[in-house]
Amino acid sequence: MGDAIVLRGVSKSFGSTVAVRDLDLVVPEGALVGVIGPNGAGKTTTIRMVLSILFPDRGELSVLGHRSALEAKDRIGYLPEERGLYKKMRVGSFLAYMARLKSGDGPDLRRRVRQWLERVGLGEVENKRCEELSKGMQQKVQFVAALLHRPDLLILDEPFSGLDPVNQRLLRDLVSEENRRGATVLFSTHVMVQAEQLCDHVVMIHHGDKVLDETMGGIRSRFDPRTILFEPLDPAADVAPLEAVPGVEAVRRDGQSHEVALTEGSDPAAVIRGLAAAVPAARVEIRRPTLEDVFVSIVTGAPAAASEDGARLREALRDTGGLGAR
Amino acid sequence: MKKTLHVAVREFLSTVLTKGFIVGILIAPALIAVLIVVMPRLMREAPPKVTGEVAVVDPTGRVVGGLGEYLRPERIAERREELRRRIDEATPEAVRAVAGTSPQGRAVVEQSLDAALGEVPRIQVVSLDPATDLEEAKAPLKVEAEGGGRGEMGRLALVVVHPDAVVRPQGQGAYGSYDLYVRGKLDDRIEDEIRGGLREALVAARVAASGLDREQVAAVTTVKRVRSVTVTAEGERVTNEVVNILLPAGFMVLLLVSVLTSGQYLLTSTVEEKSNRVVEVLLSAVSPMQLMVGKIVGQMAVGFLILALYAGLGVVAMVSFAVLGLLDASLLFFLLAFYLLAYVTIASLMAAIGAAVNEMREAQTLMTPVMLLIMVPWMLWMPITRDPDSTFSVVTSFIPPISNFVMLLRMTSTSPPPLWQPWLAVLVGAAGAWVALWFAAKVFRIGLLMYGKPPTFATLVRWARMA
């Protein structure tokens, strides 16, 4: 299998602002890759360059084996971040029009439109005008518009923003399904949890630089668990004895629970036993490093939990509600 | 190519199938039809039936009689009948046929005529003593009449004829005249009758006083107005002055209206796509050039529809006035050619502006120069129709994009330019259209994804250089 997307040393500036700097990126065919990073990191610019909507100042790229996405447009499905519909057009006609523009024409076009609308729970809106739909419904229609012509490469820019948890899950399932069908998926988000739930490979961009490019498994093993989450049975209980447990370096209060940092080389299992013996526990668990932790530690150069910078960054990475709970 | 076509079809349908377009496109011809049908009816409506007297102070004693004769109800009816006959003659065959074939039409015409004749005013002319006090004679005019301008109105007017109105004193150049005092609310058509009567009576009295024969004078001073014959290399034909003026104007208006309407639609739909954020979705499927060309072609079809509708109306009108022969087939060809060129030029600029701004309000400032371009032909219209061969006319007919309008104007004028000139104008126009399209394509590509501060024309030019 070849590579669906290859970017080599790609840079793009707008005036004096560098949006993307010397980016190398390879997305193999059939992969499901998330591009993550806070707002303004350069995600959308990267995606627009992949689609030849913008052209890089420097560097080379190839998409589906072509020098430019323009030559492979019909095989690409794209859900932009800046998305909209023709207000006065009927939903069914809009979808059919978009499919036709992608050369997805055919005798069964209308039937496919109906099928897809039913799949995203919008079976009854086919003959409504786009402006009559709620924002979430419009987003689902746009999502369908990106999938309708069965693309080989699916590029989704912030696909879940503004959706409720139920619909986020629905779209996530559809994306996985498309990926299983064989489509390569590249999507961007600034909400790390979503990437964590969906991708098998993550690319992180910060201030136009790529700071991480790794599989989820690799990330997990590289960023070894060094924190245990401890929630006492009695919220008012004195947690001082915890610090005395062997292998514990520090205890930090985090809302209802406490984050217990481990010393280098200690055995997490032994520490858990010790903690539970010291204070009656409602919950004790090893905290797996989230993308958020990884990102914060990369950007701030410090262990995830510590700095104040990290806390602010965390806020930015969590800001959509929905499935944001850890 | 196929994608461009899809864009064009959507653009056309989404413009044409709106209520606004259908109403707008139908209302204008409907209004014109109403004006053609209703206005003459309103204008031709006979003066109201009025009964009353016209008092005349006539020191010469030779005017009252003539005026009295002129204002007799039978004479008024006769004149009206005569007028009707003349209008009937002037009415084109086609219109008369329509009115004549349908029984209702004929009934309506006759009914209205009968009504008009039945409504002849009854005016009595009363001679007052020349010594009468003027204020006293005016007094009855001030009495408020019942029935508001209809029916019995008492004294309608007071005429004071000047003593020198019929016989000139020795050594004086001009004849005297008369003073006319009328009551308030007197129908202007009654007043016209009185003036007409006085004119007639005065002329008759002066002619008689000079020892001449009225009939003879009338015969001597009448020169029948004839139609001129335009002589060209191809042959001779009767000049039709109305057509000579209306045809170029009609063609230019047609061109301007269709270019302007479809250009405006293009601007609106581009701004809409951008402000709706549909544009990026579209750009993932088609290239900016395909999108722009598709939109331009779609709106061009809209312009053609407008052009066809109005030109069709014009042709129908010309058929009914039996002057279709004046229309050259080659003229229609050039109308289409110049429409195409003018449209592509203006539409490109509109598309560029639409892509550059975020909302319609911001488009207004950028539109002004384009609007000026479109207005220039209006200002040139009169000088060019008057003198289609002047240096000025010739030069302006080779400067795109106004060349497209001006050349058409010259071609429909009384002295069409030699054939190489329109062809050259087509070439020049095509070059202009190409430049506009090139500029627009650059601006379009960059502008579509630019949000924020609306650009100035200078920015647009920079974009065009950059891309």
| Location of structure tokens 């126009």 | B429
Q: Is residue A298 part of a domain?
A: no
Q: What is the pLDDT of residues B328-338, one digit of tens each?
A: 667 778 878 88
Q: Is residue A307 part of a domain?
A: no
Averaged over A238-257, what is the pLDDT? Answer: 81
Residue B244: predicted pLDDT? 60
Statement to judge: residues A132 and A235 lie in one domain: no
User: What six digits make up the tokens of B446?
Assistant: 């960059």
Chain A window 19-58: which residues touch B at a Cβ cutoff of 8 Å? 48, 51, 53-54
- Chain A interface, best mutation among B274, B276, B281, B463, by max A CB count within 10 A: B281
Statement to judge: residues A99 and A122 lie in one domain: yes
Q: Is residue A294 part of a domain?
A: no
Q: Is residue A317 part of a domain?
A: no
* Beta-carbon separation of B449 and A53 below 8 A: yes
Q: Kindly give the residue spans of alpha helices, DSSP state H, lying in A26-102.
A: 43-50, 91-101
Q: What is the pLDDT of residues B199-246, one digit of tens each?
A: 988 888 888 888 888 888 888 888 887 777 777 676 666 665 556 666
Q: What are the residue ranges spanned by the domains of chain B?
A: 45-215, 241-466
Whether B162 contacts chain A with CB within 8 A: no
- Domain residues for the domain of A180 are 3-220
How far lies B432's CA from each of A143, B348, B403, B438, in Å? 42, 11, 10, 10
SS3 B326: helix
Q: Kindly give the residue spans of alpha helices, DSSP state H, lying in chain A.
A: 43-50, 91-101, 109-119, 135-147, 165-181, 192-198, 216-222, 268-278, 291-300, 308-318
Residue B235: predicted pLDDT? 67
Statement to judge: residues A180 and A281 lie in one domain: no
- The residue in chain B having the minimum alpha-carbon distance to the alpha carbon of residue A94 is B10
Q: What is the pLDDT of residues B70-107, one digit of tens each?
A: 888 888 888 877 877 776 666 555 455 555 555 555 55
* Beta-carbon separation of A86 and B276 below 8 A: yes
Statement to judge: residues A96 and A166 lie in one domain: yes
Residue B52: predicted pLDDT? 85
Statement to judge: residues A106 and A171 lie in one domain: yes
Q: Is the pLDDT of residue A323 over 50?
A: no
- The residue in chain A having the minimum alpha-carbon distance to the alpha carbon of residue B294 is A101
Give me the CATH number covering residue A172: 3.40.50.300
ipTM tops the 0.85 cut: no
Residue among A97, A102, A145 whose CB faces B10 most closely: A97
Residue B152: predicted pLDDT? 73
Give me the CATH number covering residue A229: 3.30.70.2070
Statement to judge: residues A192 and A205 lie in one domain: yes
Q: Which of A194, A220, A246 is the last residue of a domain?
A: A220
Smallest CA–CA separation between A83 and chain B, in Å? 5
Whether A76 contacts chain B with CB within 8 A: yes
Statement to judge: residues A253 and A169 lie in one domain: no
Smallest CA–CA separation between A24 and chain B, in Å? 22
Residues of B in contact with A82 (CB under 8 A): 277, 280, 449
* CA–CA gap between residue A263 and residue A226 (Å, rounded): 8
Statement to judge: residues A43 and A184 lie in one domain: yes
Statement to judge: residues A186 and A158 lie in one domain: yes
Whether B462 contacts chain A with CB within 8 A: no
* Beta-carbon separation of A142 and B281 below 8 A: yes
Statement to judge: residues A204 and A230 lie in one domain: no
Q: How many domains does chain A have?
A: 2
Share above pLDDT 70 across residues of chain B, in percent, rounded to a whole number: 81
Statement to judge: residues A158 and A135 lie in one domain: yes
Residue B130: predicted pLDDT? 83
Q: What is the pLDDT of residues B406-417, one digit of tens each?
A: 888 888 777 778
* Beta-carbon separation of B278 and A100 below 8 A: no
* Banded pLDDT at B295 (limits 50, 70, 90): very high
Q: Is residue A58 part of a domain?
A: yes
| Location of structure tokens 């499935």 | A323
Averaged over B60-71, what is the pLDDT? Answer: 86
Going by C-alpha positions, the residue among B189, B181, B182, B183 that lies closest to residue B145 is B183
* CA–CA gap between residue B331 and residue B364 (Å, rounded): 35
Q: Is the pLDDT of residue A307 over 60?
A: no
Q: What is the pLDDT of residues B148-191, one digit of tens each?
A: 555 677 888 899 988 888 888 777 778 888 999 988 877 787 88
Statement to judge: residues A26 and A66 lie in one domain: yes
Chain B window 16-55: which residues touch A at a Cβ cutoff of 8 Å? 18
Q: Is residue A154 part of a domain?
A: yes
